Amino acid sequence: MISDTAISDIFPALHQEVAGKRLVYLDSAATTQKPQCVIDAVTHYYEHDNANIHRGVHTLSQRATKSYENARAQIANLLCASRSEEVIFLRGATEAINMVAQAWARPRLCEGDEILITEMEHHSNIVPWQIVCEQTGACLKVAKVLDDGSLDMESFKSLLSEDTVLVSMAHVSNAIGTINPVKEMCSLAKKVGATTVIDGAQATGHMKVDFSDIDCDFYAISGHKMFGPTGIGCLIGKYDILQEMEPWQGGGDMILTVSFEETTWNKVPFKFEAGTPNIAGAVGLGAAAEFIHEVGYAEMTVREQELLLYGRNVLSSIEGVTLIGASKNNAGVVAFTVKNVHPHDVGTILDSYGVAIRTGNHCAEPLMKRFGLTATCRASLSIYNSTDDLDRLGTAIQEAIRMLG
C-alpha cells in the first residue's frame, strides 16, 4: 500500500497553498492532477522529439512516430483491447461519442429505430444522440434511475426491443459516481441485436476496464481524467466494426490515395485520425497508462473505496448535509447538498479554506431534475487523497453552515 505522503509527492500541483492553507483537491471527476512522469514525458517530447509523425524519414519524426504508436499500444494493453489498431486517438470522450454518432449511427439509423441511454448520462452522452435522432428520425429512450442513484434495471430491460439499434451508457456517473453493470447491460443489448457504446470517461482513472470482457462495441475515454493531459482521449472499437465504418473527417493521414476523381482511405485506425494529431497529448496519455499500470488498479480501487466510506461517514455526521445518489457501487464521488446554502456558496467558502470541490449541475441536468435539484456539491476522489483531506472537507462545510446556514 502506497503511503499518503509517497503518493502525493508524485503530483507537483498538490504542493501548494490556497488561501494560506495546504491545497485539498477533491475535484478529480472534473480533471485529475498529473503525476510528474506524465509532465516529464510531454516535456521530453517537446524538448527532444518534436516533429510530425508518420511518413517522415528523419530521426525526430521517426522517434515521434514511435512514441505516438507506443502510446496507442499502452492504452490497448491497459484496457485489454484485442489489438492496438482498435485504439483511435481523438480529443476526448466527447469527440469519441460524437464520432460514433456520426460515423456509425447516422448512416445506419432509420425512422422508427430507437437509441437507449440512461437518466444519469453526462450531456456528452445525450446531445450527440439527440442530434442523430433529428438527422435520421430515430427515437431516444431513457432508462430511469432509482432513489439511491443506481440504475433501474427493470426500466432498462423494459425499454429494450427489436427496435433498439444502439445502447449508450455511462460506465460511471460523473455526477454521483454510480458504477453501472455495463457487462450485463451490453449482454442484454446484444440479445436484441443492438450495438453498444460505453462512456468510460469516469471509469479508467479508478477501476480496471477490460474492453474484451465487457464485450461492448465502442468504449470512449478521456485522458485528462486518468492522469493524462487535456485535449487527448480515445475511442476503442471492435476492429471489424471499425473496418466497416466510413471516415467522419477528411484530411491528411486518413487517406491512402487522392485524385480529383477518387480518394481511397487509409487502414484502421488511421482513417479516423485526420490531420496532425495531438502528439504530445498521446505521449502523455501513454505515460499515464504506464503510471496506472505501475500503481495497479487493484490498489487504486481499494484506496479510493476506503476513502469513499470515510468521506460519506464524515459528511453524514454533519447536521444539514444530505448525500445524493449514494449507491453501494460507487467510484469515489460524494455528491451532497447543504440545507439552506446554495452549492455555489458552499464551494466558494470551501475554497477560502483551501478545499477544491465542484458545484453545479455537473453537465447532468436531467439527473439533477430527477432528484428535484438544480445543483449539488461534488467531492470526487483519487489516489492522491487522504483521510485528512476529508476531515478538512468536513471542517470547511461546518464553517459554511455556521456562516450561511
In a domain, 147, yes or no: yes
Looking up residue 311, the CATH number of its domain turns out to be 3.90.1150.10
- Do 107 and 214 lie in a common domain? yes
Q: Give the active site residue among 37, 80, 139, 363.
A: 363
Q: Grid coordinates representing 15?
A: 504542493
pLDDT at 34: 98
Asked whether 354 and 19 are in contact (CB, 8 A), the reply is yes
The values of phi and psi at residue 17, to 5°, are -110, 145
- Do 316 and 172 lie in a common domain? no
182: amino acid identity, one letter: V
* Ordered per-residue pLDDT tens for the chain, 405 residues: 566 667 878 999 999 999 999 999 999 999 999 999 999 999 999 999 999 999 899 999 999 999 999 999 999 999 999 999 999 999 999 999 999 999 999 999 999 999 999 999 999 999 999 999 999 999 999 999 999 999 999 999 999 999 999 999 999 999 999 999 999 999 999 999 999 999 999 999 999 999 999 999 999 999 999 999 999 999 999 999 999 999 999 999 999 999 999 999 999 999 999 999 999 999 999 999 999 999 999 999 999 999 999 999 999 999 999 999 999 999 999 999 999 999 999 999 999 999 999 999 999 999 999 999 999 999 999 999 999 999 999 999 999 999 986
- Do 23 and 68 lie in a common domain? no
pLDDT at 221: 98
Cα separation, 113 vs 161, in Å, equals: 10
Give 97's contacts (C-beta < 8 A, 6+ positions apart).
124, 125, 128, 168, 197, 199, 220
88: amino acid identity, one letter: I
- Do 113 and 256 lie in a common domain? yes
Q: Grid coordinates representing 95?
A: 469527440
**Which of 277, 294, 311 is at the close of a domain?**
294
- Do 310 and 268 lie in a common domain? no
pLDDT at 8: 76
End-to-end CA distance of the chain: 40
3-state helix/strand/coil string of the chain: CCCHHHHHHCCHHHCCEECCEECEECECCCCCCCCHHHHHHHHHHHHHHCCCCCCCCCHHHHHHHHHHHHHHHHHHHHCCCCCHHHEEEECCHHHHHHHHHHHHHHHHCCCCCEEEEECCCCHHHCHHHHHHHHHHCCEEEEECECCCCCECHHHHHHHCCCCEEEEEEECECCCCCEECCHHHHHHHHHHCCCEEEEECCCCCCCCCCCHHHHCCCEEEEEHHHCCCCCCCEEEEECHHHHHHCCCCCCCCCCEEEECCCCEEECCCCHHHCCCCCCHHHHHHHHHHHHHHHHHCHHHHHHHHHHHHHHHHHHHHCCCCEEEECCCCCECCEEEEEECCECHHHHHHHHHHCCEECEEECCCCHHHHHHCCCCCEEEEECCCCCCHHHHHHHHHHHHHHHHHHC
Looking up residue 48, the CATH number of its domain turns out to be 3.40.640.10
In a domain, 208, yes or no: yes
**Which of 264, 294, 324 is at the close of a domain?**
294
Containing structural domain, residue 320? 4-27+296-404
- Do 137 and 166 lie in a common domain? yes
pLDDT at 55: 85
Active site residue 133: no
In a domain, 347, yes or no: yes
In a domain, 33, yes or no: no
- Do 125 and 68 lie in a common domain? yes
Tell me how far the alpha carbon of residue 194 is from its chain's centroid: 23
Structural domain tally of the chain?
Answer: 2
Helices 36-44 and 279-295: angle between axes, nearest 10 degrees = 150
- Do 92 and 204 lie in a common domain? yes
Q: Grid coordinates representing 94?
A: 466527447
- Do 256 and 155 lie in a common domain? yes
Query: How far are the Cα atoms of 90, 160, 224 from residue 157, in angstroms, in the given order?
Result: 32, 5, 33
In a domain, 119, yes or no: yes
